[in-house]
Structure 1
Amino acid sequence: MGIDCTIMGELAETSRRFTPMGRSLMLGRQEMTVSNNPLRRPYNSKKRYQRMLDRHQVDASIEDIIQADGYSETLFDALGFKDIETLDVLDYELDPERGGIIHDLNKPIGPELEEQFDFIFDGGTSEHVLNVITSLENIYRMLKPGGRVLGVHPLNGWPAHGIYQFTSELVYAFWKHQCNCEVVKCLALSRTPHLFRRDLHDPTVTGKNNRFRSVLSPWLKTPACRLYLVYEAIKGEGAEMGDAPQQLRYNITWKESASKTGVRQ
């Protein structure tokens, strides 16, 4: 998807709380979507990017961050994710000097990549991988204990963008309930900065599904704007991948049914 002004804000917010001591990785070499025409794309103008940097107290100028090739390594360096590496399925986008890791996320990683990274950025890559669980398991296995992943994926208003459209159910089911990781944040965020932002909870804690109303009308259940799903998870020292859980909201229904009927589900 690339790193627009809104996604950069989430990266900057994470960088204020976490600085990796070891290797960092982005899945797919991410471009920056800085617009040179503020009338056409006002929310990705250089001025908007600079305001986001200033808001998160990043001591850098957007002019210094922009790379001639349009990619984002300089941005990651400015945020504290030094010498970030790239994993991709092909090498045609890789920088010849930096290189990268060539691997198809449809397939399990080899032992040489296990527990190698303190930080992994999945900026809209996993939803393009058919074997999506293998892809997520690869991310989990590549993280060191104590490492964290920041994921940004289309949630609403992106039909046929990828093979899948991720939801908060997937985030909590995989990272929290299967992998025993801590989900630091999970939210729905409008592509247009500051228009829509809602925390998405774990339904097994609240007993309710995640729902939100439109910013234009309380009768519409879906906001009338494009939304990102943004999540951050930490692989704790004692994290261990377990069996795949059932969909979380059905667990709630089954437990309610069992309490009424006395039949064990």
Structure 2
Amino acid sequence: MGIDIHNLNLLAHGKDLGVSYERTIAIGRQALFIEDFELEQHRQLRRLPALSAAPASGPRYFEPLMKEWLAAGVADSVDASPYENAPLIHDMNLPWPAVSEARGRYDAVLDFGCLEHVFNFPTAWRNCVDLCKVGGHVFHSLPANNLSGHGFYQFSPELFFNLYQPKNGFELRGLWFAMKADRLHWWKVANPMDVKRRVNLCNSHEVYMMVLAKKLREPGELPAPQQSDYAQDEWLKAPASGPARTSGGSRKALVQQLVKLGLIDSVRAMRERLRVIRQSGLSLPAADYERVDVHQLIGAKG
């Protein structure tokens, strides 16, 4: 659990959008996983003062960065054990105690690489929401693709587009993919409920999903979400993945001929190899994904 350069840029973008970090809590005490040159580049880009000197040994934690660069007055954290000296101890598999003073106390709740490690995700997510005050913001940075084995889960944007809706008491202010191999760009993800089809991803790079949501009111009890193409009656009138495809006679004849010749498996294997090569780059397919130049997005204005 920690803050890498993408998470730092997300925090900076949040500040530009008016997010308050006055009272911030991290799910897990966040260490900094940012190279010195990246910190310096970010500092110059944002025209920030130099950070306090890092400790000579051991991990660098997030509190100085939050206070000196993002104007946090309080930078708390919660963990299941005291091994990293988090001030609050709680197992996120369990509901947050109703009498806790921490409920509804924080302007910003940071889930940077935590909830994928918590088996009871619905409870852990609700804990994040309950810690946030009305008008505050919840941040997520979670595995989305090619990170199988990192935690219990990888997450689909569909989940957070569904959870963070006005009818549930939230405003979704942004949802992006970020690739570990490309620190200069994000990819804005299309909402399946807007494009009326599933937004899928198959590529060859580690992909993280970053989410920023504002809490508009206390949500109360929420029904279990339904995937959008199952929940919208009008969508059921047409295939969820787009216009129906008609199988042409010539294609069918070609497939049958390849089967007779014993070549169909070889052709399918070649098609799969070509698909992998085509998807090994750092671009994601339009129009479901829109590339964002991060330095242009967060650079100091004026």
* Superposition map of 1:253-264 within 5 A: 254-258=233-237
- Aligned match of 2:96: 109
The AA in structure 1 aligned to 2:5 is: C
Q: Give the match's secondary structure for 2:164.
A: helix
Match of 2:77 among 70, 83, 86: 86
- Aligned match of 2:44: 54
* Alpha-carbon distance between aligned partners in 2 of 1:100 and 1:117, rounded to the nearest angstrom: 14
Gaps of 5+ in 1: 35-44, 213-220, 261-265
Match of 2:119 among 127, 130, 133: 130
Could you tell me the TM-score, scaled by structure 1's length?
0.79
Match of 1:244 among 224, 229, 232: 224
Q: CA deviation at 1:17?
A: 2.4
* Alpha-carbon distance between aligned partners in 2 of 1:65 and 1:236, rounded to the nearest angstrom: 38
* Alpha-carbon distance between aligned partners in 2 of 1:259 and 1:87, rounded to the nearest angstrom: 46
* Alpha-carbon distance between aligned partners in 2 of 1:209 and 1:114, rounded to the nearest angstrom: 35
Q: Give the match's secondary structure for 1:84.
A: strand
Q: Which moved more, 1:20-29 or 1:125-134?
A: 20-29
Quick check: 2:143–2:153 contact (8 Å CA) kept in 1?
no
Q: Does 1:32 align with 2:32?
A: yes
Q: Give the match's secondary structure for 1:15.
A: helix
Cα 1:161–1:182 shift into 2, 3 Å? same
Match of 1:74 among 31, 41, 64: 64
* Alpha-carbon distance between aligned partners in 2 of 1:102 and 1:181, rounded to the nearest angstrom: 27
Report the number of matched residues. Answer: 234
Quick check: 1:12–1:58 contact (8 Å CA) kept in 2?
no
Q: Does 1:161 align with 2:164?
A: no
Q: Does 1:231 align with 2:221?
A: no
**Runs of 4+ that moved beyond 4 A:** 238-241
- Bigger CA radius of gyration: 2
- Aligned match of 2:3: 3
Cα 1:195–1:116 shift into 2, 3 Å? closer
Q: CA deviation at 1:240?
A: 4.5
Quick check: 2:197–2:229 contact (8 Å CA) kept in 1?
yes
Could you tell me the TM-score, scaled by structure 2's length?
0.70
- Aligned match of 1:218: none
Quick check: 1:27–1:87 contact (8 Å CA) kept in 2?
yes
* Alpha-carbon distance between aligned partners in 2 of 1:73 and 1:150, rounded to the nearest angstrom: 16
* Alpha-carbon distance between aligned partners in 2 of 1:50 and 1:21, rounded to the nearest angstrom: 22
Q: CA deviation at 1:256?
A: 2.9
Quick check: 2:143–2:155 contact (8 Å CA) kept in 1?
yes
- Aligned match of 1:217: none
* Alpha-carbon distance between aligned partners in 2 of 1:32 and 1:173, rounded to the nearest angstrom: 30
Give the share of equivalent positions with the same residue, in percent. 24
* Superposition map of 1:8-19 within 5 A: 8-19=8-19
Q: CA deviation at 1:58?
A: 4.7
* Alpha-carbon distance between aligned partners in 2 of 1:49 and 1:131, rounded to the nearest angstrom: 34
Q: CA deviation at 1:203?
A: 1.3
Cα 1:241–1:153 shift into 2, 3 Å? same
Gaps of 5+ in 2: 240-302
